[in-house]
């Protein structure tokens, strides 16, 4: 039976270290880490995410600012707000909650954020740094960064000799995950919807990343015995056993069958999910240290 990788516990450890780092910077350089979160519209899921981020930021001792804009905010108005936050020395991290309303170009907004304050790691400068192995100076997208930390807890930082398969090629998870694994010396393959013999490919992986957005797609007989399985998926499916109209969260891997084969596995919920906000906080305090000319701690 696989070891269950407790993302909640690791995330709590990261946020505790972030708070210590934030307090130390405030005492040493009189700099309070500032995080600004911008949300446009009334998307319920986005509002929950933003509230969670705000709560965690305050718990870490940050100066936490939230800008809630109406659905009909123009693209130029949002650009103007982001540029204002870029120029604000009290703000070290800017996060624009996605998705944005359809009339606003997500790409333009992301590229407007200063690369030094791009704590989501989506600006082309940070993407390029990660793609060329500059992991020490890049801001890495939070979900892949958190996934790597969970892998390190099981296998250590150097993945030399390990074979990794990433199922999913998104800009948010799949591609940055590929670059992080490569930087850690793993031999990496990215699989996707056009990949042939996907099951056989997955079975070669010492490290298997499920990030495809299809509930319970990865089955136990796809998993190499003893592999580390990181399930990035968050899917809501019907749960009639809980009652009429009820649902439950599942990952991209079928947890029940996979945990009998894998050596270690992340659950859903409680695996990668908590790591995302924790790494956002780590990126924000890192930005504050850099702005103060201090060496940022590692997490």
Residues carrying an active site annotation: 53, 97, 120
Q: Would you give the DSSP letter of residue 27?
A: H
Alpha-helical runs (H) found in 30-141: 44-59, 75-86, 106-112, 124-131
Residue numbers in the known binding site for NADP(+) are 168-170, 234
- How many angstroms separate the CA atoms of 101 and 1, rounded? 44
Phi-psi region of 74 (alpha: psi -120 to 50; beta: other; left: phi over 0): beta
Going by C-beta distance under 8 Å and a sequence separation of 6 or more, which residues neighbour residue 5?
Answer: 150, 153, 154, 230, 264, 265, 266, 267, 271
Nearest to 212 by CA among 224, 198, 226: 198
- Burial label, 266 (beta-carbon count in 10 A; 0-12, 13-18, 19+): buried
- β-pairing, 187-191 vs 235-238, is unpaired
- How many angstroms separate the CA atoms of 263 and 193, rounded? 26
């Amino acid at each position: 039976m696989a070891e269950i990788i407790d993302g909640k516990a690791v995330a709590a450890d990261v946020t505790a270290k972030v708070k210590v780092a934030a307090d130390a910077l405030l005492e040493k350089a009189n700099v309070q880490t500032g995080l600004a979160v911008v949300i446009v519209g009334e998307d319920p899921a986005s509002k929950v995410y933003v509230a969670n981020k705000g709560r965690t930021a305050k718990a870490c001792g940050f100066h936490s600012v939230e800008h809630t804009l109406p659905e009909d905010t123009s693209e130029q108005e949002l650009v103007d707000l982001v540029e204002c936050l870029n120029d604000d020395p009290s703000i070290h991290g800017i996060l624009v909650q996605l998705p944005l309303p359809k009339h606003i170009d997500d790409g333009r907004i992301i590229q407007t954020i200063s690369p030094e304050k791009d704590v989501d790691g989506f600006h082309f400068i940070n993407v390029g740094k990660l793609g060329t192995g500059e992991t020490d100076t890049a801001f890495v997208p939070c979900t892949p960064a958190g996934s790597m930390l969970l892998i390190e807890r099981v296998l250590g930082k150097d993945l030399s000799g390990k074979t990794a398969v990433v199922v999913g090629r998104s800009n948010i998870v799949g591609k940055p995950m590929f670059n992080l694994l490569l930087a850690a010396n793993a031999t990496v393959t990215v699989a996707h919807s056009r990949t042939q013999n996907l099951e056989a490919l997955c079975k070669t992986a010492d490290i298997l990343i499920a990030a495809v957005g299809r509930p319970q797609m990865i089955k136990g007989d796809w998993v190499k015995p003893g592999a580390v399985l990181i399930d990035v998926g968050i899917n809501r499916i019907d749960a009639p056993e809980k009652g009429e109209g009820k649902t439950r969260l599942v990952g991209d891997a079928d947890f029940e069958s996979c945990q009998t084969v894998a050596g270690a596995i992340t659950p859903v919920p409680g695996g990668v999910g908590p790591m995302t906000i924790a790494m956002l906080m780590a990126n924000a305090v890192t930005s504050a240290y850099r702005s103060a000319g201090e060496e940022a701690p590692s997490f």
